[in-house]
């Protein structure tokens, strides 16, 4: 029997060519591509902080849809009780490596290696999204995520005042701001880093929601966390009655 050599180099190049951005990606779908599944309403509800589901169940699709104004309006017209016309949405994390709204997996790894705490990283990301929408940013003279996280870590009073002020502005307008975190199983290259970052996200986002509007259904800044289930070893999420599965 003839033995054929395994084309190792060719396989390596093929694997390296696989794009890091998986599933639907971060571009909002066209309105004609949207069919609102009735069973997914709870996953689209801004009051649902954690959405968990298997690969291919629609988490990334809905994350991208919520981040698109036209797509969000299509959803809102069919699910009027969600009041999505009063909701601003931005990215906190996604599988996209060219998404300038949040640090990529590689940047997150570098920030951890530089000694930044995971909670400080995510509080910076959330604050960056909120102030960008308000037009009054303390990060205007910063060019990278390390500088932004350093500023928040060095001046927690500034950060807390900004969160309180932004929350008050949103409440005055009767609006909310949802920061979407998708593809959380792609936060790092190993489960130790993923758990560290996920724990920091849960602590940081939980503190923000509790400090601005404890137990209030109209909290102005509610992060929605999307995570893939069934990927082998999964980071542990805190148990909560507000976790929704799709």
Query: What distance in Å separates the CA atoms of residue 151 and residue 139, rounded to the nearest whole number?
Result: 8
The pLDDT value recorded for residue 211 is 52
- Say what the pLDDT of residue 68 is: 94
Work out how many domains the chain is built from and give that number: 1
**What is the per-residue DSSP string for 167-205?**
HHHHHHHT-EEEEEE--GGGSSSSHHHHHHHHHHHHHHH
CA 199 – CA 118 distance, rounded (Å)? 8
Mind listing the pLDDT tens digit for each residue in 87-123? 999 999 998 877 788 999 999 999 999 999 999 999 9
Kindly state whether residue 237 falls inside one of the protein's structural domains.
yes
Q: Average the pLDDT over 200-221 and give the result.
A: 57
What does DSSP assign to residue 85? G
pLDDT at position 6 is 72
In a domain, 19, yes or no: no
For residue 219, pLDDT over 90 is answered with: no
**Please, are residues 40 and 75 in contact by the beta-carbon 8 Å criterion?**
no
| Rounded average pLDDT over 177-203 | 91
Residue 135 domain boundaries: 46-245
Q: What is the pLDDT confidence band of residue 203, given thresholds at 50, 70 and 90?
A: confident
Which tokens in the block code for residue 213? 């509007």
| pTM recorded for the entire structure | 0.76
How much is the pLDDT for 230? 34
Higher per-residue pLDDT: 196 or 207: 196
**Least-confidence region, from 22-31, 141-150, 196-205:** 22-31
pLDDT at 166 over 80: yes
In a domain, 36, yes or no: no
Give the pLDDT of residue 236. Answer: 41
Amino acid 233: pLDDT = 38
Query: Average pLDDT for residues 175-193, to the nearest whole number?
Result: 91
Q: Is residue 135 part of a domain?
A: yes
Whether 238 shows a pLDDT value over 90: the answer reads: no
User: Is 145 part of any domain?
Assistant: yes
Q: Is residue 70 part of a domain?
A: yes
For residues 52 and 140, is the Cβ–Cβ distance under 8 A? no
- Closest by alpha carbon to 166, among 228, 212, 202, 205? 212
What is the tens place of the pLDDT at every residue in 48-65? Answer: 888 888 877 888 899 999
Asked whether residue 59 is assigned to any structural domain, the reply reads: yes
Q: Taking all residues of the chain, what is their mean pLDDT, rounded to a whole number?
A: 80
The lowest-confidence range among 43-52, 175-184, 232-241 is 232-241
**Is 9 inside a domain boundary?**
no
């Amino acid at each position: 029997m003839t033995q054929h050599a395994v084309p190792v180099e060719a396989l390596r190049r093929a694997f390296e060519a696989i794009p890091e951005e998986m599933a639907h990606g971060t571009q909002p779908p066209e309105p004609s591509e949207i069919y609102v599944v009735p069973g997914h309403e709870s996953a689209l509800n801004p009051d649902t902080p954690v959405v968990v589901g298997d690969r291919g169940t629609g988490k990334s699709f809905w994350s991208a849809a919520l981040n698109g104004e036209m797509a969000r309006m299509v959803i809102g017209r069919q699910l009027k009780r969600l009041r999505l016309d009063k909701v601003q949405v931005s990215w906190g994390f996604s599988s996209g490596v060219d998404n300038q709204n949040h640090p990529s997996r590689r940047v997150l790894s570098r920030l951890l290696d530089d000694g930044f705490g995971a909670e400080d990283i995510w509080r910076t990301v959330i604050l960056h999204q909120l102030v960008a929408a308000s037009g009054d940013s303390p990060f205007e003279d910063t060019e990278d995520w390390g500088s932004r996280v350093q500023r928040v870590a060095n001046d927690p009073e500034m950060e807390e005042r900004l969160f309180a002020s932004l929350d008050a502005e949103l409440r005055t307008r009767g609006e909310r701001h949802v920061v979407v975190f998708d593809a959380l199983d792609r936060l790092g290259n190993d489960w130790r880093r993923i758990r560290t970052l996920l724990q920091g996200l849960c602590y940081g986002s939980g503190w923000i929601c509790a400090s601005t509007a404890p137990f209030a259904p109209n909290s102005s800044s509610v992060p929605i966390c999307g995570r893939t289930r069934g990927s082998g070893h999964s980071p542990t999420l805190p148990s909560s009655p507000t976790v929704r599965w799709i």
